[in-house]
Amino acid sequence: MGAKTYDFSGWATKNDLKCSDGRTIRKNAFKDDNGKTVPLVWNHDHSGPDNILGHAVLENREDGVYAYCSFNETEKAQTAKELLRHHDIGSLSIHANQLKQTKNKDVLHGVIREVSLVLAGANPGAQIDFPIIQHSDGSFDTVEDEAIIYPFIEELSLEHGEVPSFYSEEESVEEIAEETEEEIEHAEESEKDKEDKKVAEENKTNNEETIGDVMDTLTDKQKDAVAAVLAIALEENENNKRNNEEDETVKHNAFENENEQDEYLTHAEVEELFAGAKREKVTSLKDYMLEHSIDTTGMEVATGDQTYGFNDVSMLFPEAKSLNNPPEWIMRDTGWVGVVMNGVHKTPFSRIKSIYADITPDEARAKGYMKGNEKREQVFTTLKRSTAPCTIYKKQKLDRDDIIDITDFDVVRWIRTEMDFMLDEEIARAILIGDGRASDADDKINEESIRPIAKDVPLFNVTVNVNVPNGATGQEKADAIIDSVLRARKEYKGSGNPTLFTTEDWLTEMLLLKDGIGHRLYKTEAELATALRVSKIVTVEVMEGQNIDSKPLVGIVVNLSDYNVGADKGGEKNLFDDFDIDYNQYKYLIETRRSGALVKPRSAMTILINEAVGSDSNSDNENTEG
């Protein structure tokens, strides 16, 4: 298998070893599992998802099934890894079901559902030579050598999850194994069929013709007629049973060998049955017999109107196979979320207090002194803002029955992944523009705790109004946006070179700008970013169609290092799960308690379209507010 990202490897099963329950696994019993990925579980404990330690990739070999095992990042998995590294444990075991075996308990086929790391396997000789290989850098992501488990002696721990189907003792183990390798279906005659053959042979020996012999002498047309007679008789028999009436009816299939005279139809009964078929205007006697002679209780009956072959051939089509397990998420573009969450400044405390002293007024300036005059003290204004945390969460629940029945993928891990990235998206949205919910909504994220940059007060956020005439085109607006941002850049007092967060539509309009001879002004996003005096441009899907103070939002210019996100110990992102015994449900909760706010004055610029009715672009000093 070469160098792969697995932590250890070993034999999951070995051929021709007698298990503790008396079963013997034969060669290629699990060959269909070759290349399959199954969960790595602690001690076959299926009581909760936290017992899943990772996964194992199976490889069918001449001697059995080999497993390449990788741990996940859960606490139990890391504990198990440490136990393995310390040689405290060293055995693997499998859980398999859908077993097919002989009555001698030779397992010929099965499906491995999981591989378990166990305290002690059924084989006392099983051991791990190299449990964990540590690289020179101290990581354990890639194993260069294999850690092999050797089951030497007679037994192998095999958990059998279902009652298997048995083959007849008449066939030898060697014959069954050979047929299994050739993928031939085994079929044995039932005891009833054998008895029927025996009776038929005895009847022929006594020179007595059976009903089957008589039927062989009939033409196809005559056989159709007999079939219809049987169908009607069986239907009347069912009606009589439902009415609890005792009557002489057809008790057996007429093609079976029976010697009792009272089980044959009389001539009068035949005439009556044919009359019934005529009343119902039967067009195909064979179809009529099949329709009325088979009890379809509890079955799905095809209802197609096909006039040949099968009346609903789609019932025989194979089941559709999924191309993406687990299901693929239909989601918004979330590339910007990582930029926001990784760009903000973080503190290990959630209650933030910002204090400022305004020294821009003339009263705060240094003063000249003339001899004989009194010196005056300077005066400046102090400002303070405090921000307290709020809780943001995602909650989900699943029925335990559904978790067990969904076997194609790990539905719990799938749901947890969704909860995690959706929580991050909501926090990032709240930081830039707010969550968009009504102020009195129960689920509203408090904007006094996570303060949206686009709605922040003028001390921290400069509003750039892009003044355009009513009915201006997209290109005219884009040209005005670039001019307005450049002219307002002097108002920006934030750290370093900021980032422009905007939408795909506005980015496209600016990139489509051309000069007088039709050449693109900006061939790449990098050229446009340089022209706007920003470090990069990031598109944000959730900003599409947003308005601030009834004006269309174009974008936000900000260096996110000037936005502080605080969380006390225990208020970081945490995942909880619980089991409801009364309703047999697992419940999952991911939540965080944080605060967020700009902490540097004039560290952001919010760009808005100001479309004035019947006016032209206004003077430069009308582009900004605050």
Higher pLDDT, 119 or 142: 119
pLDDT at 124: 44
Contact between 476 and 468 under an 8 Å Cβ cutoff? The reply is: yes
- Average pLDDT for 138-145: 35
Q: From 3.30.2400.10, 3.40.50.2300, 3.90.1720.10, 2.60.40.1250, which CATH number describes the 333-369+376-626 domain? A: 3.30.2400.10
Query: Would you tell me how many other CB atoms lie within 10 Å of the CB of residue 446?
Result: 16
Scored b (16 or more CB within 10 A) or e, 264-289 reads ebeeebbeebeebbeeeebeebeebb
Q: What is the mean pLDDT of residues 30-45?
A: 90
Class of residue 317 by CB neighbours under 10 A (exposed 0-12, middle 13-18, buried 19+): exposed
pLDDT score of 361 more than 70 = yes
326: cis peptide before it, omega within 30°? yes
Residue 610 C-alpha from the chain's centroid: 44
The one-letter code for the residue type at 509 is E
Q: Please answer whether residues 477 and 468 qualify as being in contact, where contact means their C-beta atoms are separated by less than 8 angstroms.
A: yes
Q: How confident is the model at residue 301, as a pLDDT? A: 74
pLDDT tens-digit map of 322-337 = 888 888 888 888 899 9
pLDDT score of 626: 45
What pLDDT score does 146 carry?
34
Structure-block tokens of residue 523? 């061939």
Q: Higher-confidence residue: 259 or 118?
A: 118
Residues 277, 228 contacting (CB under 8 angstroms): yes
559 vs 94, higher pLDDT: 559
pLDDT tens per residue, range 209-220: 555 555 666 676
Report, as an integer, the average pLDDT of 417-430: 93
* Cα 356 → chain centroid: 49
CA angle 9, 10, 13 (to 5 degrees): 140
Max distance between CA atoms of the chain, in angstroms, equals 153
- CA distance to 222, 459, 467, per residue, from 621 (Å): 104, 18, 11
Q: Is 18 exposed, middle or buried (0-12, 13-18, 19+ CB in 10 A)?
A: middle
pLDDT at 396: 93
SS3 assignment, position 111: strand
Lookup: tokens for 88? 């405290």
| 530 three-class SS | helix
C-beta separation of 446 from 437 below 8 A: no
What's the whole-number mean pLDDT along residues 258-269? 47
For 43-54, write each residue's pLDDT tens digit: 888 888 888 999
Residue 399: band (very low, low, confident or very high) from pLDDT cuts 50, 70, 90: very high
* Per-residue pLDDT reduced to its tens digit, 369-392: 888 888 777 777 778 899 999 999
**What's the burial of 63, exposed, middle or buried (CB within 10 Å: 0-12/13-18/19+)?**
middle
pLDDT at residue 233 greater than cutoff 70? no
Top mean pLDDT of 291-300, 353-362, 415-424 is at: 415-424
Tokens, residue 318 = 């194979």
What pLDDT, in 10s, does the model give residues 76-90? 899 988 888 887 887
pLDDT at residue number 92: 84
Beta bridge partners of 290: none
> What share of the chain in percent tops pLDDT 70?
68
CB neighbourhood size of 415 (10 A): 18
Q: Residue 387 burial by CB count (10 A; 0-12/13-18/19+): exposed, middle or buried?
A: buried
DSSP string, 415-440: HHHHHHHHHHHHHHHHHHT-----TT
> So what's the pLDDT on residue 205?
52
- Between 374 and 169, the higher pLDDT residue: 374
Q: Map out the domains of the chain as residue ranges.
A: 8-181, 196-308, 333-369+376-626
- The answer to whether 497 touches 561, Cβ cutoff 8 Å, is no
Q: What pLDDT digit, counting tens, does each position of 99-127 carry?
A: 888 777 788 888 888 888 887 655 343 34
pLDDT digits (tens, 9 = 90+) for 479-525: 999 999 999 999 999 999 999 999 999 999 999 999 888 899 999 99
Q: What is the 3-state secondary structure (H, E, C) of 226-287?
A: HHHHHHHHHHHHHHHHHCCCCCCCCCCCCCCCCCCHHHCCCHHHHHHHHHHHHHCCCCCHHH
For residue 224, the cross-strand partners are: none
pLDDT at 467 over 50: yes
Mean pLDDT of the chain: 77
Q: How far apart are CA 408 and CA 110, in angstroms?
A: 17
Instruction: Give the total residue count for the chain.
Output: 626
| pLDDT for 488 | 94
CB atoms closer than 10 angstroms to residue 496? 9
Q: Is the pLDDT score of 17 beyond 60?
A: yes
- What pLDDT, on a 0 to 100 scale, did the predictor assign at position 531? 94
Strand 499-502 and strand 536-539: the pairing is parallel
User: Mean pLDDT across the stretch 412-430?
Assistant: 93
pLDDT of residue 282: 58
Report pLDDT digits (tens) over 515-548.
888 899 999 999 999 999 999 999 999 999 999 9
